[in-house]
Structure 1
Amino acid sequence: MRHDQEHQSIPGMVRSAARRFADSPALVEEGQRLSYWQLKDQMVQAVAAALALGIEPGDRVGLCAPNSVEWIVAALGIQGAGGIVVPLNTRFKTEELSYILRKSGAKALFAAASFLGNDYTAGLKRADPELPALRTTVSLSGKRGQADLTWDEFLGLGADRSGAHEAIDRLTPDHISDVMFTSGTTGHPKGVKLTHGQSLRAYGWMSTEYGFRPSDRFLVIPPFFHCFGYKAGWLASFLHGVTVIPMAVFDAGRALEVIERERVSILLGPPTIFHDLLHHPDRPGRDLSSLRVSMTGGSTIPESLIHAMKKDLSFDIVLSAYGLTESTALVTTTRPGDTEETVARTTGRPIPDVEVRLTDASGQRVPPGRGGEILVRGYNVTQGYWDDPEATAAAIDGDGWLHTGDIGHLDAADNLVIVDRKKEMYIVGGFNAYPAEIEKLLLGCEHIAQVAVIGVPDARMGEVGCAFIVPVPGADPTEEDIVAWAREHMANFKVPRHVRFVDALPRNAGLKVLKNDLRARFEDGGRR
């Protein structure tokens, strides 16, 4: 029986893991070590506390804090009481957080009293003192700040655990477990509704396919407010008895130290993480032989990076995948045994019981090898956006197909190749130019470590490309060098007409490149 078939809910899965893995370590964080049995006990107490706090089935609860043991226990407590977790981006400003809390009708907020200089509760009380549904705030750190309850005070409400297990037992796979708000790159963020069953099924399959096992130790760097850190991270790990090591803020030197000390074997994340690890001065002196499994996605991946991850970071398995929040963040993935070229060039085949279709502008299916918009249908597709039927209808058609807005094609082996976001395409003299494709080509240049391409206005061509480039350490290419290389390796309309050298690409907390920031920088004429 698959793990996802054994469990009705995410808290139910943790109870099962406690029975199966008992005294094995579940969580390790700054000297704090919880066994699976101890994690289950803390979860049950948090469920009882959430019930005492008045959280009822269907209530939404905001959760705004860095990766930590408390984040996980708080989420499990909220869900176990029947509540719906609303993860909040810790890099959001007060106005953005206030919008999501209002939109979701959050009844309570669990937040860090101090993170990156922010006291989220204090900021919200100053900016929006009358959030209509918000009743209680809980500090997830030792400091109270302006929260109503400290973390210990909240847990203290759970002294009577008599109703906790019954509340967990009432959950079903079809209950909503979380509302994940998208990044809001095209306007206000939209809340994606996902269920317990969807997440357990998708990541139960993924973690089994990737070979997760009880002896593994997973350093989780992607933030928990994103499916990469939450569902592909701690949720997938608990299904297999893996030890989870949360990392609040990524620091390459610190990560290398933890990998060596804790014998980390699983590390998933966007390419920038592995680039930074590879180029950190401490890397050659660290014992990284424990590293075993990796998956990277969300950006272009040069084949040279995959080779270096295996050679210099000691990974046995390096995979790539594709998904978006509306699809439980998992649609396709490469498989162990795929070639480095396949992992770099494609995002693999659809996961079981999920369909992928490519269509043209008129909605007609395109033949293999031709590009089209990626449509997805299956159990992983969201029920819709929270309190937004119009946006739901625009994204999911009457036949259940999710229109992703991404452009791709299928190769001869049915691997999905992502060309670009439809909205990021620009047109050079009548030719469609796709930044992701051009970025992948530019990464073949030996002088380029990271690159992001945007379309910018041009009086003659309408639009042309501008490449923002982080050079390889020690390299000092000129704009002319890059353009000359590009002219040798790509069609003329794809060649960037502008080059900007930068020390780092601006990224959000999920480590996606902020292309709007790059557009603003171009308009300002900013250079390194």
Structure 2
Amino acid sequence: MQDDAPPLLDAELPTFADLLLAAERAFPGQEAFVEGSNRITYGEWVDQSLRVASAFAERGVEPGAIVLIALENGVDYAVCFAAAQLLGGIASGVNLRLGRREFDGIIERSGAALIIVEDDAPEPKAGPRVVRRSELAKLRQAPTRAAPHAGRPDDAAVIIWTSGTTGMPKGACFTHDNLRNAVRTAGPVAAPLARKLSSVPFAHAGFMSKGWEQVAFGMTLVVAPTPWSADAMLRILVDERINIAGAVPTQWTKLLAHPGLGSADLSHITVGITATAPAPPELVEQVSRAIGAPLIVRYSMTECPSMTGTRIGDSADVQYRTVGRPQVGVELKFLDDDRSEVPAGAVGRIAVRSKALTVGYWNDPEKTAEALIGDGWMLTGDFGRLDDSGNVILAGRANEMYIRGGYNIYPIEVERIIGEMPDVASVAVVGTPAPTIGEIGVAFVVPMDPANPPSLEAVRSKVRSELADYKAPDQIVLIDALPVTPMMKVDKQALKVRAAALETTRG
């Protein structure tokens, strides 16, 4: 890694397309992506993306049109992302773990002009033109290159889909200006010409909102293998000489158990990142010793991909107990039910203001108005407070959503699917803390016939057939009746207490 390499941070570039073209001139031979043996330089990335863009244009993609990308992580995804940008289009990723209802909901809400899918994917709902992955190899070598579109900083650049309180996807929209401003919040997780290991799905904010960051620094993004394994991760860390290593606590835990870790040369790692679930202090300390570099924690959300983070030098206790301090250019405040600020140190609902914040939800003015509360502030779904050192301590969520392995899960949509089963009289789903993965789902089920109740596997299979597989509950508890509050609503708090007492959820 060359610390004196000139990044493109301060160049006057209106759009991500302009940034890509500048990178092609500045460091054409620098690797942009590594996906196993598949490697592509910045020069090749731009060249192939312009050729694919020409084919996209022939299929109806115009400036402002949405291109949905439903592909596995890798070079093909990156080329399609850049092709959409170079045409002045809006790139939008689709998580491949989503269920059919969610997938169709995104297609309908987006009004996309084009969708790129895996070869074995079912035919998408009527609407956009379809390109299969097997077609991309030919398109990347097409004889014609598209003419790059001259866009504006306030043009929409990407849409990142996230679940709403009803569980159906909503699309957080970001302009080119948003992407540019997010770079200022990077801190130690970006460096000139660094080699960065990415373990997040490309459809998530960790990739979709970080494109400007990667290109401005000329970084190489090394794609984690699928399926993931500790052996493959260690091999990549060593062979690719990774500088910035990102992984979830589960992955770090498994890496620590690898017999070859102690003898591996990891001297090139400058920082490790953990996210999606709390990392116990002992894990933070063990990983830091093992890789010879600090491990830091990040807190963000789809609508504001950079919010807080711990700092290099923070203790393991701070890394576990808090999510750090606001990033550069990010403001937080903590509000009561009347949206007045709570006293210093008190728990309140977190609101965030940042130039990297979403401009709103695509084609959803009602949800946008609920979230964006004026003067540049957005109301999050989290409660928290500041400690005496200015670190944010999360205290809970404003709704019943829980996070399993980094994925947001809203019980109401899971309950609706389970409730369709003929042998289920009623059901309530709650999240409960679990080691490493953060939280798991527990379904409390009242069976139609107590002598013939549904099995956990049957319930999980039903949910998986309609929704993303990670939304399937991890445990099922059969009960005679759901507890209710004095207002005759299901008493979720009572169920959470009961779920927390289950033996299998304990660490």
Q: Do Structure 1 and Structure 2 share a fold, with TM-score over 0.5?
A: yes
The alpha-carbon distance between structure 1 residues 400 and 24, as it changes in their structure 2 partners (threshold 3 A), is closer
Q: Is the CA contact 2:8–2:217 (under 8 Å) kept in the aligned structure 1?
A: no
Kept in 2, the 8 Å contact 1:98–1:124? The answer is: no
Compute the TM-score of the two structures, normalised by the length of structure 1. 0.73
Aligned partners of 1:4, 1:73: CA distance in 2, in Å?
Answer: 25
The more displaced of 269-278 and 379-388 is 269-278
Shift of 1:369: 1.2
Whole-Å Cα distance in 2 between the matches of residues 96 and 465 of structure 1? 21
**One of 362, 378, 395 as aligned partner of 1:386:** 362
Residue of 5, 13, 19 corresponding to 1:13: 19
**Which of 134, 146, 153 is the matching residue for 1:173?**
153
Measured in 2, the distance between the counterparts of 1:469 and 1:397 equals 35
Aligned to 1:272: 250
Q: Deviations over 1:173-210 (max 9, x none)?
A: 211111111035642111111112212221x2234544
Q: How many residues align?
A: 427
Q: Distance in 2 between matches of 1:98 and 1:325?
A: 20
How far is 1:522 from its partner?
3.9
Highest RCO, 1 vs 2 (Cα 8 Å, sep ≥ 6)? 2
Pair 1:124-2:123 in alignment: yes
Matched, 1:198 2:174: no
Q: 1:20 to 1:5 in 2, by over 3 A?
A: closer
Q: Which residue of 2 aligns with 1:246?
A: 223
Question: Helix, strand or coil for the counterpart of 2:168?
Answer: coil
Within 2, Cα distance between the matches of 1:340 and 1:469? Answer: 17
User: CA 1:261–1:422 in 2, change beyond 3 Å: closer, same or farther?
Assistant: same
Which 10-residue stretch deviates more, 381-390 or 241-250?
241-250
Please give the per-residue CA displacement for 1:357-382, whole angstroms capped at 9, x wherever unaligned: 10112222112211110001221221
Structure 1 counterpart of 2:300, one-letter code: G
* SS at 2:473 equivalent: helix
Q: Could you say if the C-alpha distance between residues 101 and 335 of structure 1 is closer, same or farther in structure 2, counting changes exceeding 3 Å? A: same
User: What residue is the counterpart of 1:155 in the other structure?
Assistant: 140
Change in CA separation of 1:7 and 1:268 when aligned onto 2, cut-off 3 Å: farther
Which string of whole-angstrom CA distances, capped at 9 and with x for unpartnered residues, describes residues 105-141 of structure 1? 111111121xxxxx22xx135xx3xx2x31x21122x
Q: Is the Cα contact below 8 Å between 1:217 and 1:266 reproduced in 2?
A: yes
Offset from partner CA, 1:315-353 (integer Å, 9 cap, x none): x232222111112x1112223333333333222222233
- 1:57 corresponds, among 49, 58, 63, to 63
**Equivalent residue for 1:291, pick from 269, 292, 298:** 269
Alignment of 1:481-492 (within 5 A): none
CA distance in 2, matches of 1:22, 1:470: 41
Q: Which runs of 5+ in 2 are unaligned?
A: 1-6, 412-428, 438-463, 480-498
- Structure 1 unmatched runs, 5+: 114-118, 143-149, 426-434, 440-451, 455-462, 472-507
1:24, distance to aligned residue in structure 2 (A): 2.2
Letter in 2 for 1:240: F
SS at match of 1:61: strand
d(CA) in 2 for partners of 1:7 and 1:252? 40
On the 8 A contact 1:333/1:349 being kept in 2, the answer is yes
Structure 1 stretches of 4+ with a deviation exceeding 6 A read 524-528
Q: 1:280 to 1:209 in 2, by over 3 A?
A: closer
Which residues of 2 match residues 402-441 of structure 1 at below 5 A? 402-424=378-400
Contact 1:368 1:412 survives alignment (8 Å)? no
Paired letter, 1:320: V
Equivalent position to 1:77, from 50, 63, 83: 83
Cα distance, 1:466 vs structure 2: 5.6
SS at 1:380 equivalent? coil
1:243-270 deviation line (CA, Å, top 9, x unaligned): 2212352222211112121112211233
Match in the other structure for 2:147: 164
Q: Provide the residue aligned with 1:521 in structure 2.
A: 476
| CA offset digits 1:211-262 (Å, max 9, x no partner) | 5122x22121111000123444x55332212222123522222111121211
Q: Which has the higher strand share?
A: 2
In 2, Cα distance between the equivalents of 1:207 and 1:373?
A: 25
Contact 1:178–1:195 (CA<8 Å) still a contact in 2? yes
Q: CA deviation at 1:32?
A: 2.6
Q: Residue 206 of structure 2 is aligned with which of 228, 249, 252?
A: 228
Secondary structure of the residue that 1:381 maps to in structure 2? coil
Q: Contact 1:373–1:404 (CA<8 Å) still a contact in 2?
A: yes
Task: Tell me if structure 1 keeps the 8 A contact 2:158–2:208.
Answer: no
TM-aligned CA distance change 1:194 to 1:464, over 3 Å: closer
- 2:188–2:271 Cα contact (<8 Å) kept: no
Q: What is the rounded CA distance, in whole Å, between the counterparts of 2:157 and 2:432 in structure 1?
A: 41
Change (3 A) 1:307 1:124: same
Residues 311 and 523 of structure 1, relative CA distance in 2, 3 Å threshold: farther
Q: Which residue of 2 aligns with 1:475?
A: none
How does the TM-score come out when normalised to structure 2? 0.76
- Contact map agreement 1:68 1:247 (CA 8 A) in 2: no
Classify 1:6/1:376 alpha carbon distance in 2 versus 1 (closer, same or farther; 3 Å).
same
Contact kept? 1:297, 1:320, Cα under 8 Å: yes
Cα distance change of structure 1 residues 417 and 514 upon mapping to structure 2, 3 Å threshold: farther
Give CA deviations for 1:128-157 in whole Å, capped at 9, x if unaligned.
Answer: 3xx2x31x21122x3xxxxxxx1134335x
Task: Summarize the Cα distance change of 1:326–1:468 in structure 2 as closer, same or farther, 3 Å threshold.
Answer: closer
Contact 1:67–1:248, Cα closer than 8 Å, also in 2: no
Q: Is the 8 A contact 1:11 1:76 kept in 2?
A: yes
Partner Cα distance (2:204, 2:430) in 1:
33
| Residue matched to 1:212 | 191
For residues 31 and 398 of structure 1, the distance between their equivalents in structure 2, rounded to whole angstroms, comes to 48
2:132 maps to: 139
SS in 1 for 2:33: strand
Cα 1:521/1:193, change in 2 over 3 Å: same
2:476 is paired with a residue whose SS is helix
Letter in 1 for 2:277: S
Instruction: Tell me the SS of whatever aligns to 1:331.
Output: strand
Q: 1:299 to 1:464 in 2, by over 3 A?
A: closer
Cα deviation for residue 292 of structure 1 reads: 1.9
Shift of the 176–290 alpha-carbon distance from structure 1 to 2, 3 Å rule, reads: same
**RMSD over equivalenced CA pairs, Å:** 3.3
The letter of the residue matching 1:279 is A
